[in-house]
Amino acid sequence: MNSWQAKRALVHFLLWEQRRTLAMTEFRYADVFAVTKAMFTEEIEVKVDKGDLRRELEVVSWALGIGPEKAFAPNKRIKHQRNMEAVGKREVQRNSFSMVWPRFEDVPNRFYFAVTSELEDLGRRGVRDTPYGLIVLTQTEEGPPEKKRIRVEMVKSAENLHKNKTLPDSLVHHMRKVCLENLTLMEKL
């Protein structure tokens, strides 16, 4: 399965099985982003490649203060550092990335990794001592390759990184993104 198939399966799962109010792909730095009926936000990072997952989990270990300092991509450093600062798992630094992203509405309430079933063991080990959740995507064997279904299972619930609800102005940005996705799809038809 590729990342596009995984994202499509996740959006379907979030909207129809988890009953999220809103779910979209490629919002800010999120592969998949959702808003619950209670106005809490969820960010899901999709990983279908073992090396990519391993590198991202190294950034998470660094953000928790248990992994080595490496040359990580700046957007990954910012994302995981701000998440750990929000939940209190990392002390806020004087020149912290929180100065760049000071508002909690920019930090999701919950963060998940979504991985293929082949990466489940690595994913479980990677999120074990973190506030992050884990979703496993399993491609079924039914039907032709382009019609195969993907089973989505939440195997570890995420902890709240904070308890602030999304603000109305942020919700407007979320809705505009959904409208843009719809327009883009219509243009492709």
pLDDT of residue 102: 44
Q: Is the predicted pLDDT of residue 57 greater than 90, yes or no?
A: yes
The 110-116 sheet, strands edge to edge? 22-27, 30-35, 41-47, 110-116, 133-139, 150-156
User: Per the structure block, which two tokens stand in for 25?
Assistant: 């792909």
**Domain boundaries in the chain?**
3-188
pLDDT of residue 11: 94
Q: Which residue has the higher pLDDT, 45 or 177?
A: 45
Contact in structure between 30 and 38 (CB atoms under 8 Å) = no
**Beta strands in the chain, from DSSP E residues, in sequence order:** 22-27, 30-35, 41-47, 110-116, 133-139, 150-156
pLDDT of residue 63: 85
Q: Is the predicted pLDDT of residue 72 greater than 90, yes or no?
A: no
Distance, in Å, from the CA atom of 88 to the CA atom of 91, rounded to the nearest integer, reads 7
Residue with tokens 């750990």: 84
Q: Is the predicted pLDDT of residue 16 greater than 60, yes or no?
A: yes
DSSP structure string for 95-128: T-GGGTS--GGGS-SEEEEEEEGGGHHHHHHHHT
Q: Per-residue pLDDT averaged across 31-42, rounded?
A: 92
Q: Is the predicted pLDDT of residue 97 greater than 80, yes or no?
A: no
Tens digit of each residue's pLDDT (9 = 90 or more) over 119-133: 999 999 999 999 999
